Amino acid sequence: MLSLLSRTHTPSSSRHSPEDSPTEPTMPTIDHHISHQTRRRRIVVAMTGATGAILGIKALIALRRLNIETHLVMSKWAEATIKYETDYHPSNVKALADHVHNINDMAAPIASGSFKADGMIVVPCSMKTLAAIHSGFCDDLISRTADVMLKERRKLVLVARETPLSDIHLRNMLEVSRAGAIIFPPVPAYYIRAASVDDLVNQSVGRMLDLFDLDTGDFERWEGWQTEK
Ligand SMILES: Cc1cc2nc3c(=O)[nH]c(=O)nc-3n(C[C@H](O)[C@H](O)[C@H](O)COP(=O)(O)O)c2cc1C
Return the percent helix, strand and coil in the chain, to nearest 5: 45, 15, 40
Q: Which of 83, 86, 126, 142 to mutate to test the pocket of ligand 1 (most atoms within 8 A of CB)?
A: 126
Nearby residues of 226 by Cβ (< 8 Å), 6 or more positions away: none
- Choosing among 3.40.50.920, 3.40.50.1950, 3.40.50.300, 3.40.50.970, the CATH entry for 42-164+176-212 is 3.40.50.1950
Per-residue DSSP letters for 135-171? HT---SHHHHHHHHHHHTT-EEEEEE--SS--HHHHH
Nearest CA to ligand 1 atom 28: 50
184: alpha, beta or left? (left if phi > 0; alpha if psi -120 to 50): beta
- Model confidence at 14: pLDDT above 70: no
Kindly indicate the confidence band of residue 228, based on its pLDDT and cuts at 50, 70 and 90.
Answer: low
In the chain, % of residues over pLDDT 70: 83
The Cα 208–Cα 77 span in angstroms is 22
pLDDT at 166 over 90: yes
CB 165 within 8 A of CB 127: no
Q: Which residues does the annotation place in the binding site for FMN?
A: 49-51, 75, 126-129, 161
Mean pLDDT, the chain, rounded, equals 88
Edge-to-edge order in the sheet of strand 42-47: 99-101, 69-74, 42-47, 119-125, 155-160, 182-183
Mean of pLDDT values over 34-52: 88
**43 or 3: which leads in pLDDT:** 43
- pTM of the entire structure? 0.86
pLDDT bucket at 226, cuts 50 / 70 / 90: confident
**Of all atoms in ligand 1, which is nearest to the CA of residue 47?**
27
Q: By alpha-carbon position, which residue is closest to atom 22 of ligand 1?
A: 49
Ligand 1 atom with minimal separation from the 127 CA: 11
How many distinct helices (H) and strands (E) make up the chain?
10, 6
- Ligand 1 atom with least separation from CA of 140: 26
Q: How confident is the model at residue 8 (pLDDT cuts 50, 70, 90)?
A: very low
Choose one of 51, 122, 134 to mutate for the ligand 1 pocket test, by most ligand atoms within 8 angstroms of C-beta. 51
pLDDT 10s digits, 44-87: 999 999 999 999 999 999 999 999 999 999 999 999 999 999 99
Q: How far apart are CA 227 and CA 229, in angstroms?
A: 6
User: In the prediction, which pLDDT does 86 show?
Assistant: 98
Cα distances (angstroms) measured from residue 155 to each of 42, 67, 87, 158, 211: 11, 18, 31, 10, 9
Distance 77 CA to ligand 1 centre (A): 7
Considering all CA atoms of the chain, what is the largest pairwise distance in Å, rounded to the nearest integer?
74
Residue 199 CA to residue 220 CA, distance in Å, equals 9
Query: With pLDDT > 90 as the criterion, what percentage of the chain qualifies?
Result: 81
> Amino acid identity of 68?
I
Q: How far apart are the first and last CA of the chain?
A: 64
pLDDT of 59: 98
pLDDT value at position 37? 62
Residue 10 pLDDT > 60: no
Using CA atoms, how far apart are residues 158 and 170, in angstroms rounded to an integer? 13
| 228 or 174, higher pLDDT | 174
Cβ of residue 133 lying under 6 Å from some atom of ligand 1: no
Q: What amino acid occupies position 219?
A: F
Count the neighbouring beta carbons within 10 Å of the beta carbon of residue 151: 12
pLDDT of residue 224: 93
